[in-house]
Structure 1
Amino acid sequence: MKNIYITSGTEHYLRQVLEEHPTHSLQLLQNYSNAIILEESENPTVLKEAATYRLLQSRGEMKGYGSVTFEYVMVRDEEIPIFLKMYQTIVNILSDTRGLQCIQLGQSKTQNKFLIITFWDSEKYYQAWKTTPYHAEVIKIMEKNNSQIGFSHIDTYRFPEFSHDFK
């Protein structure tokens, strides 16, 4: 089974990790305050400290540019089947959404936390998606469970855009 591994750190450190493992499928992602590496693999990760999620579903193909959104959703045990059904509905609708490259669902190996990763051609497409009632359903679950079992949140990153970003 394929896993999703995520680690964060300073951009300088993460670039060293990329240089040390050129044959691994590691993706550097950035936002204004943070940098992360995303790895998908059936093998153990090369990352020293990484959050691990089982990849439950993936649709589409990551293109290596644009915007990436991580929606961390805490779910109580009894709500997991409801959440998974809702996710399936959303993924079927999202598949036809303009600007979407790929959508993935991961489940934490240590908590009742799910991770919805969406890869977009640009952030404007994600912003348009946020106005839909389907996205509102995800937010409703996140808000409902925040005070009960953990902290749900959304992080948005981008692939490095300029040639100096890759150095």
Structure 2
Amino acid sequence: MKNIYITTGTEHFLRQILNDHPSDNILLLQNYNQSLLLQESSDPTVFKEESTYHLLQNRGEIKGSGSVVFEYIMVRDEEIPLFLKLYQNLSVHFNETAGLQCIQLGQSLKNNKFIIIMFWDNASDYPLWKKTPHYQEIVKVMESNNTQIGFSHTDIYHFPEFTHDAK
């Protein structure tokens, strides 16, 4: 069983973790507010404090550049099958989505929260995708079913372009 582990902190502190674990599959991502580390592993994480998600689906390859969108979705127990079916129906279109490198679906081990992590070639691709019929279909299904499924929030990060805190 593969998991997705996420932890946040200062760039300097997170780079120390990267330096201490160079052989682990850990990515450093940043935005204007914070930095985070993302680890995908079947083994226990090296992080001391993390959010953990069971990796349900992984499609595509991460290039190590571009932007990364984290969509956090809260789902009631009885709506989990509906959400998973909706995601599965939508996932057939991911290969034809311009600019999408990789997409991962994870389910929290602690509550009814799902995470969709999308790796994009550049920051302008995600807003364009939100205007597509496929994305609008998700919103329409949620509204028509009077469902409580909903995006609790979205965070956008990018891969660091340079190391300015390499102490």
Q: How does the TM-score come out when normalised to structure 2?
A: 0.89
Identity of aligned residues (%): 58
Kept in 2: contact 1:69–1:119 (CA 8 A): yes
Q: Higher helix fraction: Structure 1 or Structure 2?
A: 1
> Does the alignment pair 1:108 with 2:108?
yes
What letter is aligned with 1:103? I
Partner of 1:13: 13
Moved more, 120-129 or 89-98: 89-98
Q: For this pair of structures, how many residues does the alignment match?
A: 163
Partner of 1:95: 95
1:80, 1:38 → 2: CA distance? 25
Partner of 2:66: 66
Which segments of 5 or more consecutive residues in structure 2 lack a partner in the other structure?
none
What letter is aligned with 2:90? I
Which segments of 5 or more consecutive residues in structure 1 lack a partner in the other structure?
none
Distance 1:50 1:10, change over 3 A: same
2:38, 2:101 → 1: CA distance? 16
> Does the alignment pair 1:126 with 2:154?
no
Q: SS of 2:87's equivalent?
A: helix
Distance 1:166 1:61, change over 3 A: farther
What letter is aligned with 1:124? S
Superposition CA RMSD, Å? 2.2
Partner of 1:29: 29
1:16, 1:107 → 2: CA distance? 28
